[in-house]
Structure 1
Amino acid sequence: MKNRYVDFIKDEHFIKCIETLYYSYVKAKEQITKKKFYNNKIDAIKLTFDSKFNKLDEESIIEAEILRQIDKSINNSIGTFHEQILGGIEGYEMGNLSGFDIKAKDNTLFADIKNKHNTMNSSSAEALFQKLARYADDYKRAKCYWVQILAKNSFNESWVGDINGKEYSHSRVFKISGDRFYALLTGSETAFYDLYKALPKAIDDFMQTIDNGEKSEVNSALAEIQEEIKSSKRTILDQITFENYSYYLGFDKL
């Protein structure tokens, strides 16, 4: 029976990967309490411009600011999503905190996956190269990859470079873009594109299985602020500004 979404993983696995990511989003939102939201001072002036210039209501602006704050944890979760997808391809598996993200079951491939090309500083890059080189030395048939899901170009090439003043190279250590890595593991040059095209339908199918009450959950920070304005009679933006800057001259009048 033909798969509904993509050819290289089972439909059930695809949906499971989406489900895991969905609950990462839910958890990330729930973790943004009002206290955590205020940890970094909110720029009330910028939010005012955002609201007026982008013609968005205050609630939408605050939602966007909260999403910006959780962006880092979501990026990490997106990386995990790709690991789970790739780990569902026949002949491969996830590392599950074993020091690698993806490996071939016959130990001919090891990979470390980064969602974006610019997520490492020089020290992290050096440590990653050394780790991949060790896998290559320990497993003589293995090719080892630094995978950049979102890269500046499409490539599969030897990782050679100067890192922290030292020259690094290894005959079986490579860096590779996301599209090329998906192609390498699936045997299909368009696998990454196929994933992209299948996502909207797969997500819609998954969302049909979610309870409407669960879908409508709001993040804790916004819910707390909305509860407070019932008694303060302030707008959402005024409430946030007051709670962040009431000690500034004149702001106690809000």
Structure 2
Amino acid sequence: MSQSKHTYLDFISDEHLLKCISNLYNAYLVAKKEFTKRKFYNNKVDTFKLTFDSKFNDISEEDLIKLEMARQIDKSVNNAIGTFHEEILGGVQGYSSGKLSGYDIKADDDSIFAEVKNKHNTMNSSSAESAFQKLARFADDNKQATCYLVQILAKKSFVKKWESIINGKEYSHSRVYMISGDKFYGLLTGDANAFFKLYKSLPTAIEDFLNSIDSNKTKEGTILSDISESAKKAKRNILDEITFENFYYYEGFDSLNS
């Protein structure tokens, strides 16, 4: 049996990295497919802000709408980015990912359990309390385990015991920690620069992945074409078209229909 190739990274195989990229790519496709013109309008676009952005930042209406669409789609893919890191780390030898088992990352010998968050500010007090209690249970059930709340994008590089007051209660455990993304990647791989190496390898790996597939025109382009066409028929510019569709029931805005 031939050994796995490690062209991109030495701590996970090329096959695993490309599979993780493929999964994330599919998540983007799903988000774009589900992003219809109706959904775009239902989100209530702030056309006042778009007007300021267009004038103050010297952005064309078409580019402005593309940016707004990308912003709305971005909300749908944020969770997928966190899943990408879980899948990457689950490919490190000796570790696995396991959403359905209650943990995000676990060492095969049960010495490490982790809950992974993509950004440091994604948890409210209730989710923070739930995460701590979950990690504390893993620590209590596995006496040799150290448990981590991982912040992939943290404010600084750190490892520290998780000691907090959440919803008026004090929470601490001798084997429950908080850790930044770079430190956790380093912990699992034994390479302090592993997170940086992933960053540096991604452009090439993504290009190789995209070159290996047939990329179709995204739904985003179709929506913009639909809006442009309806604006043309109504003899409105694109921004007025979106404003009318969002606020035709507000006083005065029906004049955009004339």
User: TM (normalized to structure 2)?
Assistant: 0.92
Partner Cα separation in structure 1 for residue 175 and residue 236 of structure 2: 62
- 2:176 equivalent in structure 1: 173
Q: Percent identity?
A: 63
Deviates more, 1:65-74 or 1:104-113: 65-74
Deviates more, 1:229-238 or 1:11-20: 229-238
Shift of 1:197: 0.7
Partner Cα separation in structure 2 for residue 126 and residue 249 of structure 1: 46
Question: Does the CA contact (< 8 Å) of 2:104 and 2:115 recur in 1?
Answer: yes
- 1:209 equivalent in structure 2: 212
Shift of 1:249: 4.1
- Higher RCO by CA contacts (8 Å cutoff, separation 6 or greater): 1
Q: Quick one: which amino acid aligns to residue 249 of structure 2? A: Y
Partner Cα separation in structure 1 for residue 224 and residue 176 of structure 2: 47
Partner Cα separation in structure 2 for residue 43 and residue 9 of structure 1: 44
Q: 1:96 aligns with which of 78, 96, 99?
A: 99
Partner Cα separation in structure 2 for residue 45 and residue 92 of structure 1: 49
User: What SS does the corresponding residue of 1:147 show, helix, strand or coil?
Assistant: strand
- 1:225 equivalent in structure 2: 227
- 1:247 equivalent in structure 2: 249
- 1:234 equivalent in structure 2: 236
- 1:109 equivalent in structure 2: 112
Give runs of aligned pairs for residues 1-254 of structure 1, distance below 5 A.
3-212=6-215, 214=216, 216-219=217-220, 221-254=223-256
- CA deviation digits over 1:58-103, x for unaligned, max 9? 2221121122122222110100000010000000001132111010
Question: Does the CA contact (< 8 Å) of 2:9 and 2:201 recur in 1?
Answer: yes
Partner Cα separation in structure 2 for residue 96 and residue 122 of structure 1: 21
Partner Cα separation in structure 1 for residue 225 and residue 84 of structure 2: 29
Question: Does the CA contact (< 8 Å) of 2:161 and 2:175 recur in 1?
Answer: yes
Shift of 1:230: 4.6
The 1:30/1:227 distance shift into structure 2, 3 A limit, reads: farther
Shift of 1:41: 2.1
Unaligned residue ranges in structure 1 (runs of 5+) = none
Shift of 1:50: 1.5
Shift of 1:155: 0.8
Q: Quick one: which amino acid aligns to residue 197 of structure 2? A: D
* RMSD value, Cα: 1.7
What is the aligned residue count? 252
User: What SS does the corresponding residue of 2:160 show, helix, strand or coil?
Assistant: strand
User: TM (normalized to structure 1)?
Assistant: 0.93
Partner Cα separation in structure 1 for residue 105 and residue 229 of structure 2: 45
